[in-house]
Chains A and B, each alone.
Chain A
Amino acid sequence: MFRLTFKNLWARKWRSLMTAVAVIFGIALVAGTYVLTDTTNQAFDQIFNESLAGTDVVVTAKSEVDQQDGSTPSFSAKVLKDVQGVDGVRQATGGIFSTGAILDSEGDSTGGGFAPQFISSTLPETFDTSTYPEGHLPTGPDEATLDEAAAERAGIEVGDTIQLVGVGKAVPFRLVGLMRLGGSSFGGTSVAQVDLPVAQKLTGKEGQFDQISIAADTGISDEELRDRVAEVVPNDVRVETADENADRNASEIRESLSFLTIALLAFAAIALFVGSFVIFNVFSITVAQRTREFGMLRTLGAGRRQILRSVLIESFLIGLFGSVIGILVGYGLAAGLSALLKAIGAELPANSLVVLPRTIIVSLVIGTGVTMVSSFIPAIRSTRVPPIAALQENIVIGGKNRVVLRTAIAVLLGLIGLVLIGSTLISGTDGGSGAASIGAGAVCVLIAISIFAPKLVVPAASIIGAPIEKLGGLNGRLARENSQRNPARTAITAAALMIGLALVSFVTVFASGLSSSVNKVVDDSLPGEITLQGTGGVLPFPAGAIKAVQQVDGVEAASGVRYVSVKVDGKTAPISSVDPADIVKVYTVEWKEGSNTDLTGLTDDEIVIGDKLADDVGAGVGDTVTLVSQKGQEFDFRVRAVMKTDSIELAGQGIVTQTAMERDFKVQSNAVGLVKLDPGASLESTQSAVETALKEPFPTVDVLNQGELKEQQKSQINGLLAMIYVLLALAVVVSLVGIVVTLILSIFERTRELGMLRAIGMSRRQIKRMVRYEAVITAVIGAVSGLVVGVIFAFLIGIPLSGDGFELSYPVGTLVVILILTALAGVLAAIYPARKAAKLDVLEAVSYE
């Protein structure tokens, strides 16, 4: 039996290969994701370990509240004196390592996209593990070094001028050296080094350090020294050995990357889910075609178990083969994914690609597992073939009980899904958890639809086939009839495509909703004409920029907006700060309890809170709320008014004054600036006047009018959308492979019929056209049902989110384009099967048994 299994596989190697493709894509993404994240993690491990090679103990500030930008607080430089006094400390030095902007002499950014740039202080020789392949360390207040890779990217050489921006105006430096850290790559990240006092001034951390590095005397262990240092330092700092610090940093990176891992694995799961439909179909058809062979084996004395085993071994081998190829492809994909991330400006550091045993084991287990599970039902069906089948022309296996069971499962799943969706809608669970439970419900409904699909295929094909029949006459008619001949087969092929397209249309509708919601916020909440942002909308910009803009002719009002995350009653909430005098002119607040005068009259000990936060902590006007800062300090604010929270939380969950923000939370830079022009001022000339005023001192500020702002937001959303499309394309390609295989297998079954058609005068072109039409019908059934399902899901998920001001919009044009593209993809999928059908030798076809 084993030999027979192998021979069968080999005899149908082409089919087996196509079946394997169903898992190859998904597994490639699984393996690729692991390789990518393992490689990145390892690169970060290396960076942290290498940079701390000369350090034994590290002092950093504790962070009580995670910030959205990932920044950590600094601490008082006085701590250094205490540390230096500890017995066993050979040397200790304070350092700065903060985000900033590195610009060339023209004021243009040297980085790209989202990759962070850092301003760092130089370290004494003891701690400095970098090498300087060119030039030397900065020796004065106007000298800087830059990491070698960043200099190369920006085309900057030693001797050139660079500008660094921290919390103030751009400051020019002469580049005196290039820095390299061991063998590590920083990815897209760049680091500029300046002398410690210069770094402190640039980053607004005079009298502060981000870190103290300590070297131990010989004879004292890192742990011992750590404990001794810990006794003398204040409790807002943390003392760790160098290893502990590296591990913590690495695990924080790992955690922040885990989002990426999960997202990519989710797409892999989608591709595998779609692939399982294809596998199921191929095995179902194969088993049906081999009915007579199974019957023959039974007459020869093969038991059911032997038949089952032979089919399962076959699927095991196909799955194993697909997984192995998938791992190899995934290795290549990791490089591709890394390039994709680089393209959207999120380059990850990487040395050589890392393949852990876990990657291989997980990929093999999932790949073979999915294949075997998907082929299980067809395998069971093969055991139901009675020996008599060997002697009969056509035998149909199966009974009513399975129909009942199948219907029961479909109804049950559908109900679970609907209950999940319905209960979420009724209970009105807002935001993320609501969307998640609706998503889970959607998956259940999707499977239920797939199970019911065979019933829908016949009418669907009639409707979709109608225009094709008009267009293609007989070929169209036959194509439509062929697609209806075996509804289960067409249904599963179309369902595979449906899943991919449901997701495509879902994200399309959702993204368009997101864009229009952003537009709505811009229109409704921002009465000003101009918005200021840090370069690329990521980096905060200096507070001085707002003052500069306020001086420009034609500007009526301008307010910066700063953000910080705080804890209120143990919950993390983002709050903002504004210039009370100008804010109501540039930002429209919808009040729940209060009015604009509460904002203009806001004092430094008062806060306006959002209605959500008010509900969460049970606070109202006149109450006192306690905000816990990142450093763990508590600050009391009196609630002056309650505002409604807008959908993008432009004002966060609370508004305080700029003074309070700087005094209590040490935030000195603006994330956004809102500008309103004088009633008569021309937008064009004032905008360019603002640009001119900012260009020299504040080159990191982007000046956008409302139209440009909407465009920028839209292009950011579309960038993300494009990436999701690319990943969903994997699933769609798998389902197209499904169309190809199913068509080929159907053609194989219809050999005699095709031969007859050729014998009575059908030309090769007509045969090809017929096959093509059939593919288009199947593809369009999948596309239309996918679009409908996707739009409905987007609509359903939009309901709980509408509480947050989310507003759906339906990009009809895009959806129609998707539909047409899918139909074209159907034509593409039919190329090979059509050629195969047309090439059938008429003689062989009519005498085919």
Chain B
Amino acid sequence: MESTLAAPSQSASSESPIVKAIGIERVYGEGQAEVRALDGVDVSFEKGRFTSIMGPSGSGKSTLMHILAGLDKPTAGSVEVDGEEITGLGDSDLTELRRDKLGFVFQFFNLLSVLTAEENILLPLSIAKKKPDQEWVDQVIDRVGLTDRRSHRPSELSGGQQQRVAVARALVTRPAVLFADEPTGNLDSKSSEDVLALLRGAVDETGQTVIMVTHEPDAAAHGDRLIALRDGKLVHDAPPVSADNVIELLKTLG
């Protein structure tokens, strides 16, 4: 597989970060049963970059992403998304935030089985009652390679195609940040490669910011930057070199 990676864009790093997390702690339970999922994480994400978050099971990588996306609230610390502090926001403000600034791709596709591929892609716009920019929509659909599958229902699509619909759905609103939670966890290697190439392409061609949680070294190697967590702490933050290099890293993390 392809292992040469685009170098991180220097110009982007000088800008103020699009997502900034300071002193994030997340504690579940109390007393004896207390679990520190995140134990003081400071991390920022620059615009237009593709970051992979890795770590063994229980390292806190999913929790971190959930907190960054405003899906979960930290026990301590603060998160800013696109200059806005989100940790204190109520449900309706968070809903607005998700509508306007965030995109999601999930492990289990999470498409609506009753809608066609195109309808699924347009769903976030319908929810927000926004008029779709047809040119952009066509472009997105074209990019994910589903132009001839527009009117198919999810049940008529392969897993890879379904996940491409999900990626298109996330891209269609031009979110400030696209969060991907194990997007290849349920796909074969060919489909995984397609989806990762899509994410990569979105970053390179349109300056999309992508934050992806994964436990697959091959997937992580597509990013510009790799952060790794262990026991709730940030233990690694550097550009990935190759998949092999990532595997080595994972070994050291245990």
- The docked-state distance in angstroms from the alpha carbon of A280 to that of B104 is 38
Instruction: Say whether B92 contacts A843, CB under 8 Å.
Output: no
- The docked-state distance in angstroms from the alpha carbon of A764 to that of B98 is 13
Given contacts A753-B112, A760-B169, A764-B91, contact A847 B98 (CB under 8 A): no
| Of A485, A757, A842, the contact of B114 (CB 8 Å cutoff) | A485
- Output the least CB separation between A845 and chain B (Å): 9
User: Is B128 interfacial (CB-CB < 8 Å)?
Assistant: yes
Instruction: Say whether A757 contacts B127, CB under 8 Å.
Output: yes
Instruction: Say whether A473 contacts B98, CB under 8 Å.
Output: no
B106 cross-chain contacts in A, Cβ below 8 A: 756, 759, 846
Instruction: Say whether B126 contacts A758, CB under 8 Å.
Output: no
User: Is B123 interfacial (CB-CB < 8 Å)?
Assistant: yes
- The docked-state distance in angstroms from the alpha carbon of A484 to that of B92 is 30
Instruction: Say whether B71 contacts A759, CB under 8 Å.
Output: yes
Instruction: Say whether A760 contacts B123, CB under 8 Å.
Output: yes
User: Is A638 interfacial (CB-CB < 8 Å)?
Assistant: no
Given contacts A766-B127, A846-B71, contact A760 B104 (CB under 8 A): yes
User: Is A762 interfacial (CB-CB < 8 Å)?
Assistant: yes
- Output the least CB separation between B180 and chain A (Å): 12
Given contacts A481-B115, A752-B110, A847-B62, contact A760 B127 (CB under 8 A): yes
- Summed over the interface, the residue pairs from A and B with CB atoms below 8 Å come to a total of 68
User: Is A474 interfacial (CB-CB < 8 Å)?
Assistant: yes
Report the contact-size class of chain A (Cβ under 8 Å from the partner). Answer: 20 to 34
User: Is A713 interfacial (CB-CB < 8 Å)?
Assistant: no
User: Is A84 interfacial (CB-CB < 8 Å)?
Assistant: no
User: Is B181 interfacial (CB-CB < 8 Å)?
Assistant: yes
Instruction: Say whether B71 contacts A843, CB under 8 Å.
Output: yes
| Of B72, B96, B126, the contact of A474 (CB 8 Å cutoff) | B126
User: Is A357 interfacial (CB-CB < 8 Å)?
Assistant: no
User: Is A763 interfacial (CB-CB < 8 Å)?
Assistant: yes
- Output the least CB separation between B5 and chain A (Å): 29
User: Is B147 interfacial (CB-CB < 8 Å)?
Assistant: no
User: Is A301 interfacial (CB-CB < 8 Å)?
Assistant: no
- Output the least CB separation between A795 and chain B (Å): 38
- The docked-state distance in angstroms from the alpha carbon of A760 to that of B126 is 11
B66 cross-chain contacts in A, Cβ below 8 A: 843
Q: Mark B84-102, 1 if CB is under 8 A from A, else 0.
A: 0000000110011011100
- Output the least CB separation between A390 and chain B (Å): 19
- The docked-state distance in angstroms from the alpha carbon of A454 to that of B98 is 38
B115 cross-chain contacts in A, Cβ below 8 A: 478, 481
Instruction: Say whether A478 contacts B98, CB under 8 Å.
Output: no
A761 cross-chain contacts in B, Cβ below 8 A: 95-96, 98-100, 124, 127-128, 173
- Output the least CB separation between A687 and chain B (Å): 66
- The docked-state distance in angstroms from the alpha carbon of A481 to that of B98 is 24
User: Is B113 interfacial (CB-CB < 8 Å)?
Assistant: yes
User: Is B190 interfacial (CB-CB < 8 Å)?
Assistant: no
Instruction: Say whether A763 contacts B92, CB under 8 Å.
Output: yes
- The docked-state distance in angstroms from the alpha carbon of A538 to that of B92 is 65
Given contacts A760-B104, A761-B124, A761-B127, contact A842 B71 (CB under 8 A): yes
- Output the least CB separation between A462 and chain B (Å): 12
User: Is B131 interfacial (CB-CB < 8 Å)?
Assistant: no
Could you tell me which residues of chain B, from 157 to 212, have a CB within 8 Å of some CB in chain A?
Answer: 169-170, 173, 181
- The docked-state distance in angstroms from the alpha carbon of A759 to that of B99 is 8
User: Is B129 interfacial (CB-CB < 8 Å)?
Assistant: yes
Q: A755's closest neighbor in chain B, by CB?
A: B110
B181 cross-chain contacts in A, Cβ below 8 A: 846
A482 cross-chain contacts in B, Cβ below 8 A: 114
- Output the least CB separation between B117 and chain A (Å): 15
Instruction: Say whether B104 contacts A473, CB under 8 Å.
Output: no
| Of B62, B72, B95, B113, the contact of A764 (CB 8 Å cutoff) | B95
A473 cross-chain contacts in B, Cβ below 8 A: 126, 129
- Output the least CB separation between B213 and chain A (Å): 11
Could you tell me which residues of chain A, from 469 to 491, have a CB within 8 Å of some CB in chain B?
Answer: 473-474, 478, 481-482, 484-485
- Output the least CB separation between A431 and chain B (Å): 52
B71 cross-chain contacts in A, Cβ below 8 A: 759, 842-843, 846
Given contacts A473-B126, A474-B127, A843-B66, contact A756 B110 (CB under 8 A): yes
A757 cross-chain contacts in B, Cβ below 8 A: 112, 123, 127
Q: Mark A55-77, 1 if CB is under 8 A from B, else 0.
A: 00000000000000000000000
- Output the least CB separation between A192 and chain B (Å): 72
Most buried by A among B95, B100, B112, B173: B95
Given contacts A478-B114, A481-B115, A764-B91, contact A756 B127 (CB under 8 A): no
- The docked-state distance in angstroms from the alpha carbon of A663 to that of B86 is 99
- The docked-state distance in angstroms from the alpha carbon of A846 to that of B71 is 10
Could you tell me which residues of chain A, from 187 to 229, have a CB within 8 Å of some CB in chain B?
Answer: none
- The docked-state distance in angstroms from the alpha carbon of A843 to that of B91 is 12
Instruction: Say whether A760 contacts B113, CB under 8 Å.
Output: no
Could you tell me which residues of chain B, from 67 to 85, have a CB within 8 Å of some CB in chain A?
Answer: 71-72
- The docked-state distance in angstroms from the alpha carbon of A766 to that of B98 is 14
- Output the least CB separation between B67 and chain A (Å): 10
Q: Mark A816-849, 1 if CB is under 8 A from B, else 0.
A: 0000000000000000000000000011001100
B170 cross-chain contacts in A, Cβ below 8 A: 760
- Output the least CB separation between A750 and chain B (Å): 10
B114 cross-chain contacts in A, Cβ below 8 A: 478, 481-482, 484-485
Q: A843's closest neighbor in chain B, by CB?
A: B71
A762 cross-chain contacts in B, Cβ below 8 A: 95, 127
A846 cross-chain contacts in B, Cβ below 8 A: 71, 104, 106, 110, 181
- Output the least CB separation between B189 and chain A (Å): 20
- The docked-state distance in angstroms from the alpha carbon of A758 to that of B95 is 7
Q: B179's closest neighbor in chain A, by CB?
A: A759
Instruction: Say whether A752 contacts B127, CB under 8 Å.
Output: no
- The docked-state distance in angstroms from the alpha carbon of A752 to that of B91 is 18
- The docked-state distance in angstroms from the alpha carbon of A759 to that of B102 is 9
B99 cross-chain contacts in A, Cβ below 8 A: 760-761
Most buried by A among B62, B91, B96, B181: B91
B104 cross-chain contacts in A, Cβ below 8 A: 756, 759-760, 846
- Output the least CB separation between B227 and chain A (Å): 20
B62 cross-chain contacts in A, Cβ below 8 A: 847
A763 cross-chain contacts in B, Cβ below 8 A: 92, 95
B127 cross-chain contacts in A, Cβ below 8 A: 474, 757, 760-762, 766
- Output the least CB separation between B199 and chain A (Å): 17
- The docked-state distance in angstroms from the alpha carbon of A478 to that of B114 is 8
Could you tell me which residues of chain A, from 753 to 783, have a CB within 8 Å of some CB in chain B?
Answer: 753, 755-764, 766
- Output the least CB separation between B75 and chain A (Å): 14
Most buried by A among B71, B92, B100: B71
A847 cross-chain contacts in B, Cβ below 8 A: 62
- Output the least CB separation between A835 and chain B (Å): 13
- The docked-state distance in angstroms from the alpha carbon of A847 to that of B213 is 13
Chain A residues packing against B (C-beta within 8 Å)? 473-474, 478, 481-482, 484-485, 752-753, 755-764, 766, 842-843, 846-847
Apart from A485-B113, A760-B99, A843-B66, list 9 A-B contacts with CB within 8 A: A753-B110, A757-B112, A758-B95, A761-B100, A761-B124, A762-B95, A842-B71, A846-B181, A847-B62
List 14 A–B pairs whose Cβ atoms lie within 8 Å, in order of A's numbering.
Answer: A474-B123, A474-B126, A481-B114, A484-B114, A485-B114, A753-B110, A758-B98, A759-B104, A760-B104, A761-B98, A761-B99, A764-B91, A842-B71, A846-B71
Q: Which 5 A-B pairs have the closest CB atoms?
A: A761-B99, A481-B114, A756-B110, A474-B126, A843-B71
